[in-house]
Amino acid sequence: MKSLILASGSPRRKELLEIARLSFTVQKSAVSEDISKEYSPEQFVEQLALHKAQDIYSKNPSDVVLGADTVVVFNKQILGKPENDKEAFNMLRMLSGETHHVFTGVAIISEEKKRVFHGVTEVTFWNLSSEEIEEYVRSGESSDKAGAYGIQGYGSTLVKEIKGDYFNVVGLPVAQTVRELKEFGISNDLSQSRNIS
């Protein structure tokens, strides 16, 4: 049976695959995330996920490789990870009281096939004061998150409402990814499951 490799150093994606009871190893891709912003958000995340997966697959051609990337989109502007606290503050001030979309692109590659897709979730923030934003940025959680927040952490206090897949905002549309992986011969490891018969 083929082995699954996650081509991402994201601890959140690692945790989501573990929750889904998938057996895998991690190899972080070193490809540049500087892809043309002329792409639509869907194309942007799919291309970046594909580049990451191809990078690791080229070194592991007998395995199944999963790449993913997440961005926040507001007013047609793609927001990646902030470069510093000031940029994080400005991103969050932009998103305050507004609705934005989170896109996660996923690419799965094996010797036999390739599958690229994306998920999208609508997220609405509460109206945030400058003090609230500054407090959140000081927490350090903004630093490696698309759109400068993490919905699964302290950033949950910023979110008023979501429409769509919560896990897509965390970094991976888990249910769809698991279903796609089955087509590559990768299934959940339920050996630790309780016997319910």
All domains in the chain, ordered by first residue: 4-182 (3.90.950.10)
Q: Is the pTM of this model over 0.75?
A: yes
Dist CA 121 CA 104 (whole Å): 9
pLDDT score recorded for residue 37: 64
Q: Find the catalytic residue in 34, 63, 69, 165.
A: 69
What pLDDT does residue 190 have?
65
pLDDT value for 195: 43
Strands 77-79, 25-26: pairing is unpaired
Burial of 194 (0-12, 13-18, 19+ CB in 10 A): exposed
For residues 26-47, average pLDDT: 84
**pLDDT tier for residue 34 given thresholds of 50, 70 and 90:** low
pLDDT at 194: 44
Mean pLDDT, residues 62-66 taken together: 97
CA distances from 67 to 26, 56, 84, 108 (A): 11, 9, 25, 6
Whether 81 shows a pLDDT value over 80: the answer reads yes
Q: What is the pLDDT of residue 191?
A: 59
SS3 127: coil
Q: In whole angstroms, give the CA distance from residue 197 to residue 191.
A: 15
Per-residue pLDDT of 133-182, as tens digits, reads 999 999 999 988 999 999 999 999 999 999 999 999 999 999 999 999 99
Residue 63: active-site member: no
More confident residue, 115 or 37: 115
